[in-house]
Structure 1
Amino acid sequence: MLYGGHVASQILTSINRLCVYYLKWVGHTISVKEFVTPPSVSAKRRHALNDLIKRAPREVSRRLGIPETSFRDHFERVHMSQNQKELAAIDAAYTSVLGPTTSDVTAENERGLLRRTLDNHMRMMVDTGAKGSKVNMNQMVSLFGSVAIDGKRMPLSITGKFLPSFLPYESNPRAGGYIPDRFMTGINPQSYFYLCIVGRDSLQHTAVKTADSGYLQRCLIKHLEGIHVKYDMTVRNSDGLVLQFDYGEDGLDFDYGEDGLDVTKTPFLRSNQTLEVVVANYSRLLNPKALSVARSIGQKQEVEEYSKKLEKWKKKKTSLIKEGRKGKSGFLKFSSKMGASLPAPDTPDTPTDTPTDTHTHGENGRSYKSIELQKQWRALTEDQRKKYSKNYKKCPDPVKSVFSSASNLGVVSEALDDLIDGYYYNHYTKKRLPEQKLTRDEVTTAVHMKALNALVDPGEAVGALCAQALGEPLTQMTLNTFHFAGRDELNVTLGVPRMVEILRTATKNISTPIMEVPFHPWVNKLQAQTLRIQLSQVSLHQVLRSLHVSVELDRDDHNNLHRRTCIRLSFLPYSEYKHTFVITPPQVLAFTETHFLPKVLVKEIQKSFKKTKAKMCSSVFERQRKEEEEKMKTGDKGEEATDNNEKKGNRRRGGEENDDDDDDDDKDGGDDDGTSSNRIKKKQEQDYSENEENNISDDEDDDDSKSHHQGLSEDEGIEEDRVEEESPEAGIGRGGERKRKAKVNPLEVEQRREAVLQCDPCIVDYSFDTNAQLWCEIVLMLPVSGGNYDIHSLVNHKSQTALVHSVKNLRRVFVEDKDQRLMLRTEGVNIMKMFEFEHLLDVNKLYSNNIHQVAELYGIEAAQRSIIREIRAVQSAYDIKIDFRHLTLLADYFTCEGIYKACSRQALATCLSPLQKMSYETCTENLKLALLRGEEENMSSPTANITVGQPIKLGTNSMHILQAIS
């Protein structure tokens, strides 16, 4: 762009011919020498990897908090219970232990190659982008490292072996998929087999990913195809809707080369080095005729006056800041004056023992005091407001927002003005005096002319360019990728799945929602960990010490045989988890007896009986149907009826001897009994039927499980309030030793026992530890027949999802150091909860990857920035660079209607072109709606013009050429 297109074409042709001639007699050969390292480097590599293999089991055990000698037992127990959370923790521990050493060895080997930089032909081929990558070279020179499938280590067989050649539950990292070998020295058969597995899995992902990424790019193009630049420099779609007043927020054009660097108009407006090129070519850039034309048009005088006004305000603001004074708006002055005397209003549901300032927040997160101040400010008259705003002057808008940069020389972005000032005072004036040939005004004019020539051209199809720039790199992403967000335990979905969530579905329920909130600088690690404990969820499984089940046969009052099942749950003593969990033994016991035992455990046992009973009823019905058919064939209805009655009587009498018919025997015995036990049996059958109706299908079971989790939070909250009233404690958590009740009084013991017995008729007895409240025992009277269940497995499985303590939508919470500052990271999002701890958390810097929640709480502009940040986060994992202008255009399109929409069929419903909607999806449906509504096609979209064979109205076709008539 400095010397024109003709000169650029000539130099490219010359370079091409020179390279072809060079390759004719040089060529490009990669030999073994490209991967050779000195003996000292190789010995250091072997020592580091051997030491890593030896100490890895010990480090992993330490991170898991278990002795090294009991690692295999722990691994076996977790594998047999299929506890996915614990399995993921083991994988994460291996990743965190192996990762640092692997990175160090790779970096050391790369620096220790005998052939470096351009002397290394392999490195030259990788760096130029011709073929290969650094990963391929590291696999040849250093090691393979960890291989994984869908973010997990190699799977275990049913015997606990990774491969037949490894011991069950082997702690050696090689068994789980860590390969410390390299291609240069060869790999063992187990490692080769693992590489084949991962390679096949990658091929499968590539095959599926091709369709996903291709369809996503098509969605982008169909939505963005009509977006272009108008002659007033605004960016609009084919319907005329304004998306941006300046393309990319500065109006400059750009393009990308294959290496991700700018190659056309804007690269010379990036840094001091690029501005030096512009200034050095001052005479060639400043065509006197073009400069005079640029200065003759526009509003030169008005621009200069406005620029002086803005500069004057900035100088005044700077002087006030140096003097220690800051200008305040009228509202801030009013708030400072009235806020001190305004008491915080009381709310009806404000708890008295809440942390500091947590009760001052309303539903939207703002304090009640700020809401009251806002109401009082709005109630003031205009004259009253002027008294507070008398000496306050608002900062004028930037020059570029008032005047057009296309018709006024010197109207550029503030960032470019700052770059010019920095270049002139920090770089240009530091040169020797003979080299300073230009004045400050000449340097500024040269850059301003370059910026004027770099403006985007009217008619440019920036929407299609954006779709191509975002869609093409999708092929470089993997199908299923998980990135560890600061911690090995907290992963974030990346790759194509995350791009689908952002660009195509715009779902509210994203797969891995996270939230980041920094702590205030004065918060120490102890306070941060206390808050983490308070926000972390606690399951019953985490505090369950042991389970004992005893079953014996017994008879009831009617001499019917039943299974008397005694279940005893023992809990950990408080001293073992008082610094880890926020709960207390009374809370654990209260949750168990009010929720887990009657509503979870008993209900699951009854489900197994209902499935058996349904099978029995269906077989009886089938038998009766066959008997009726036989009676119809023989015609002897009377005799058959008599025989049937005799058979039924025999079955009733034989039921006492046959265990399989105990359910029928209970029903018939109840017909002749008019006592209260009959009513109890009927109530039990009614409860059974209600449970059966509530669990017809597996899908309904899942829904019931969801409601079960919601119910846990409510129950847990009630019990917490009760315990807190008994043992109040100051602070944000319950980390210290608590005051517990010495003993439960007999009246309360009897009340709690009766409450459990009333929950279900099959519960015949209940007792618990009245001193330390560390165990409870429940006795169930269950039928002998039917019911395929394993109480040990049932309690182990259900206790993992039964939450004694939880915060809504928060699953796991971590505290980490980031940039020398403590950061709270959560799996799950609950922004409103974070406002309760603003005395510890810097909620002004809170961030979440759930774009919908950001839009609902912070506004659509915050969501627009969140979209840009999320796309960049996904692309940075693959070292993909996309210009900021593309991202701002896409985010503005997604949020232009005040809501967050994506490239879906529903989002295209607001398009005014029926042909464009029909060409996307559901052609017949859109055609029918267009006919019924009488929609008109204005032939402005590219799809509409292509459909009827007309040229699209973009680029050179965006204007009409008129012939001059003499």
Structure 2
Amino acid sequence: MKTLLLEYIFFQSSTYLVPLFFLCRCVIKHLEGLVVQYDLTVRDSDGSVVQFLYGEDGLDIPKTQFLQPRQFPFIEDNYEVIKRSQGLDEVLARLDPHTANKHFGAIQRWRAKREVACPRRGAFLLFSQKKLAKLKQTEEQRTEPQHVHSRRAAALQLVQQWHSLDESSRSKYSRKASRCPEPSLGLLRPDVCFGSVSENFHDITDKYLQDRGSVNHNSLDANSLRQLLHYKWQRSLCDPGEAVGLLAAQSIGEPSTQMTLNTFHFAGRGEMNVTLGIPRLREILMVASSNIKTPMMSVPVLNNRKALKRAKMLRKKLTRVCLAEVLQKVDVVETLRIENHEKLRTFKVTFHFLPPDRYCDDKLLSPDQILHYMETRFFRLLLEGIKKRSAKLASIAVETRKATLRDKDTVGDGTADTAGVDDGDGEEEREIVDDQGNEGDADASDAKRKDKQEEEVDYESEEDEEEEDGTDDGEDKDQGDEEEGAEENVEEPQPETAGVERKKKKRAKRGRGEGEETLNQMRVNSVLESNPAIERYHYDVQHELWCEVDLVLPVSKVHFDLTSLLSTLAHNAVIMETRGLTRCLLNEATTKTGEKETVLNTEGINMHEMFKHSDILDINRLYSNEVHAMANTYGIEVALKVIEKEIKDVFAVYGIEVDPRHLSLVADYMCFEGVYKPLNRHAIQSNSSPLQQMTFETSYKFLKQATMLGEEQTIFLIMPG
């Protein structure tokens, strides 16, 4: 038992590790050409810029440990040691921190005057907000409003006043509408301009210095400590020549081995299913498809009572409802009858629906809508399904019969007896074919009888095909019976029966003589006229909780289970839905500030439908895990952040943390061409390095292509330090 258990564990490990190893290999081969240059940019083998600053701050990840707030007291205590060992006074004397300090001061002054970080305002917009209301009041006092070229006179006067302003007056509005200055790292290179640090590091440094000044009264002044921390920042920049692409690939590949044996393809998050583990990593990195397994959206609901109330109705409206969810039971009664020397099968199908109080809390649906769907859509789907199932079973049917005592005879006798039984007992013999397409079990030892049965089946199937072809083309010259004559007049490809068409014509004649029909009778007649195979239909007029339909079909040589077909159709029949969405849930979430808010989560994606409900939902915070949908709606820059967040969330489930600088490099490489590019054999074709292409897969193909096109690759060697 121990041996079997170990073998099973090793087998499971290898099963999970094979796709993991291939994933790691693809990531490594794509990213191995990314190197930090002397200008701190990350470039590909041909010099294409993938990142203007590695990790968006230029820091080397192992050196960032001493830039955390918890290490600041240690740096402060060792100020004198650092000053003597590294000649800090001489170094700081050659550096100029005033440019960076001046830039940070401009940013702080801008933020102090404005509450919103990036207001969408302009100078003319501020001017119109101040002047337009007064101009409209003046215009309303007139008896007749004046319009020039479909524009109101007040708007024209506003434009004229704006153009008549002098430069000093315009500059007053321009200063109020000025945008926030660019971040320091976007304008000032951190390796050249001393004090050019990230905004996050600048904020935590100021916070530490403020807390330190209120608690401790040491001899080291705040300015000296700030310069020391900025000096540590500059010394922590990534060195030129660093193979950051390989480091990013290894940072994803190594921790992914820790979650292979503990992952499931789907894991519950509340009541929503999300793909996790290696399958999700493959979706993001290797496949990069727009058709992911579990697409979803999340939109916060506006924080007011009216919006929260309407969000519940919106959830019901957007949720897809299938027939099986409101169907209580289905009764099927099958009978055989002979009419005009023809064998007919009659199915009496009764659909019982759930009471409305059973589903009104979750679904925005009424019994009348259910019956309307049954009458206009489901019955047609049912008859089409019957026809397809019959055709499928007829193509794979094998004729069988009950075993008799004569089967124990010799091969020759058994063959002769079989023919006699087939001729005599035509009613007892039946073809039994199950839904799975399993053929009937014949006696394997009696080869001749089996061959004869197959020949008979083939002969009969050929006759059936000839009859069907003759019916469709209207060329039945040899057969003049009533059944074939009725089939010629039917245009809709539905199951047909003889005699039903004549009854339908008689009912139509009686209906014309009766005058106006009631609404209920009109509904019944519309169902009866939709297909000749429907003989009778009636429903619960009072409560609309059931409906019953009688189907008349010709007896065929194959038998199918109508109950299983109804079950399949009921689960696939959609009564109401919003395109792209299957289910919606309202969940409570906690924001970064600790406040609780209601979030609408959806299975499926339809952003344009969400935009229609901006009075209920906070559309500015809409999020989806489908990268292509976010890129097409908001742009490729948003796709970068979605890739980073999705990879981070995959590892976070297992308690694994990957540095965001690695994730940002992977996301930038996948999107730096302007599209969301996967890390697979197809995307390597756009790589600029022939050597990198040849070492991935199909070396001869890329070698021949590079030779024929005359491609070149220059190998640069950058010595760090």
Aligned pairs for 1:428-827 within 5 A: 428-431=213-216, 433=217, 436-478=218-260, 480-481=263-264, 484=267, 486-487=269-270, 489-523=271-305, 526-556=309-339, 558-599=340-381, 601-614=382-395, 678-682=484-488, 687=493, 746-819=517-590, 820-827=596-603
Matched, 1:224 2:31: yes
* Per-residue deviation, residues 68-120 of structure 1 (Å, max 9, x unmatched): xxxxxxxxxxxxxxxxxxxxxxxxxxxxxxxxxxxxxxxxxxxxxxxxxxxxx
| C-alpha deviation, 1:313, in angstroms | 5.2
**1:205 touches 1:478 (CA, 8 Å); kept in 2?**
no
- The structure, 1 or 2, with the larger RCO (C-alpha pairs under 8 Å, 6+ apart) is 2
Aligned counterparts of 2:687 and 2:165: Cα–Cα separation in 1? 47
Q: Paired residue for 2:108, among 307, 314, 317?
A: 314
Using a 3 Å threshold, how does the CA distance of structure 1 residues 397 and 288 change in structure 2: closer, same or farther?
farther
The change in CA–CA distance for 1:402 and 1:814 in structure 2 (over 3 A counts) is: same
Alpha-carbon distance in structure 1 between the residues aligned to 2:16 and 2:236: 37
- Between the aligned partners of 1:246 and 1:788, the Cα distance in structure 2 is 70
The CA deviation at 1:850 is 0.8
Change over 3 Å in CA distance of 1:285–1:207 after alignment to 2:
same
Superposed displacement of residue 285, structure 1: 2.0
SS at match of 1:549: strand
How far off its partner does 1:199 sit?
8.5
Q: Following the alignment from structure 1 to structure 2, what is the Cα–Cα distance between the partners of residues 760 and 283?
A: 96
Partner of 1:36: none
Mapped pair 1:236 → 2:43: yes
Determine which of 698, 710, 714 is the counterpart of 1:935. Answer: 710
**CA separation in 1, counterparts of 2:578 and 2:179?**
43
- The residue type equivalent to 1:898 in the other structure is G
% same residue: 33
Contact 1:499 1:871 in 2 (8 A): yes
My pick for the range that moved more, 536-545 or 453-462, is 536-545
Change (3 A) 1:666 1:443: closer
TM-fit CA distance, 1:577: 2.7
Which of 629, 641, 660 in structure 2 is aligned with 1:865?
Answer: 641
Match of 2:65 in 1: 267
- Secondary structure in structure 2 of the residue aligned to 1:611: helix
Q: Tell me if the contact between 1:518 and 1:846 (Cα under 8 Å) persists in the aligned partners.
A: yes
3-state secondary structure, aligned to 2:299: strand
CA change 1:930–1:810 in 2 (3 A) is same
SS in 1 for 2:61: coil
Q: CA deviation at 1:457?
A: 0.6
Instruction: Give the SS at the match of 1:838.
Output: coil
Instruction: Tell me, in whole angstroms, the C-alpha distance in 1 between the residues paired with 2:287 and 2:297.
Output: 21
Aligned partners of 1:751 and 1:198: how far apart in 2?
69
Instruction: Map Cα deviations across residues 843-869 of structure 1 (whole Å, 9 max, x no partner).
Output: 211211111111111111111011111
Matched letter for residue 882 of structure 1: V
Assess, with a 3 A threshold, how the Cα gap between structure 1 residues 551 and 481 changes in structure 2: closer, same or farther.
closer
**Structure-2 change in CA distance of 1:878 and 1:572 (3 Å):** closer
Deviations along 1:879-912, one digit per CA (max 9) or x if unpaired, are 1121111111111111101111121122211112
1:712-747, Cα deviation, whole Å (9 max, x unpaired): xxxxxxxxxxxxxxxxxxxxxxxxxxxxxxxxx935
Task: For 1:71-110, list aligned pairs within 5 A.
Answer: none
Indicate conservation of the 8 Å contact 1:279/1:447, yes or no: no
CA 1:384–1:755 in 2, change beyond 3 Å: closer, same or farther? farther
Q: How far off is 1:931 after superposition?
A: 3.7
Separation (CA, whole Å) in 1 of partners of 2:311 and 2:331 = 38
Cα 1:666–1:414 shift into 2, 3 Å: closer
Paired position in structure 1 for 2:446? none
User: Residue 495 of structure 2 contacts residue 533 of structure 2 at CA under 8 Å; is this kept in 1?
Assistant: no
SS in 1 for 2:612: helix
The offset of 1:678, in angstroms, is: 3.8
| C-alpha distance in structure 1 between counterparts of 2:110 and 2:50, whole Å | 35
Cα shift at 1:786: 2.6
SS of 2:543 mapped into structure 1: coil
Match of 1:398 in 2: 183
Relative distance call for 1:886 and 1:340 in structure 2 (3 A) is: farther
State the secondary structure of the residue aligned to 1:420: helix
What's the TM-score, normalizing by structure 2?
0.75
**One-letter amino acid matched to 1:304:** H
User: Residue 282 in 1 paired to residue 79 in 2?
Assistant: yes
| Contact 2:346 2:550 survives alignment (8 Å) | yes
1:266 alignment partner, SS class? helix
Q: Is the 8 A contact 2:100 2:193 kept in 1?
A: no
Which residue identity does 2:562 align to in structure 1? I
Question: Which one of the candidate residues 206, 222, 226 is aligned to 1:421?
Answer: 206
> Could you tell me which amino acid in structure 1 is paired with residue 219 of structure 2?
K
1:757 positional shift: 3.6
Contact 1:538 1:806 survives alignment (8 Å)? yes
Q: What secondary structure is seen at the aligned counterpart in 1 of 2:220?
A: coil
When normalised by structure 1's length, the TM-score is: 0.57
Structural mapping, 1:120-131, within 5 Å = none
Following TM superposition, by how much is the alpha carbon of 1:579 offset from its aligned partner in structure 2, in angstroms? 2.8
Native 8 Å contact 1:763 1:781 kept in 2: yes
Shift of 1:496: 0.8
Unpaired runs of 5+ residues, structure 2, are 135-154, 401-418, 432-459, 497-515, 591-595
1:912 alignment partner in structure 2: 688
Conserved in 2, the CA contact under 8 Å of 1:608 and 1:788?
Answer: no
The SS at the match of 1:837 is coil
- Indicate if the aligned counterparts of 2:631 and 2:639 stay in contact, CA closer than 8 A: yes
**Residues 635-663 of structure 1: per-residue CA shift (max 9 Å, x gap):** xxxxxxxxxxxx9xxx9999999988899
Unaligned regions of 5+ residues in structure 1, if any? 1-192, 256-264, 342-372, 620-646, 691-744, 941-952, 960-966
Decide which structure has greater strand share.
2
2:406 corresponds in structure 1 to: none
Name the CA distance, whole Å, in 2 between partners of 1:874 and 1:935.
43
Query: What residue in structure 2 maps to residue 329 of structure 1?
Result: 122
Amino acid at match of 1:314: Q
Give the AA of the match of 2:14.
A
Change (3 A) 1:198 1:798: farther
Relative to 1, partners in 2 of residues 1:674 and 1:529: Cα closer, same or farther, differing over 3 Å? same
**Separation (CA, whole Å) in 1 of partners of 2:622 and 2:203:** 29
1:231 aligned counterpart, secondary structure: coil
Conserved 8 A contact 1:228-1:462: yes
Aligned-partner residue type, residue 779 of structure 1: D
Which of 839, 848, 851 in structure 1 is aligned with 2:627?
A: 851
Q: Does residue 840 in structure 1 map to residue 606 in structure 2?
A: no
CA contact (8 A) 1:295 1:409 kept: no
Q: Which residue of 2 aligns with 1:184?
A: none
User: Contact conserved, 2:106 with 2:181, CA < 8 A, in 1?
Assistant: no
Structure 1 residues 198 and 491, CA, compared in 2 at 3 Å: closer, same or farther? farther
1:490/1:915 CA distance change after superposition, 3 Å: same
SS at structure 1 position matched to 2:180: coil
Contact 1:568/1:778 (<8 A) preserved: yes
Shift of 1:484: 4.5
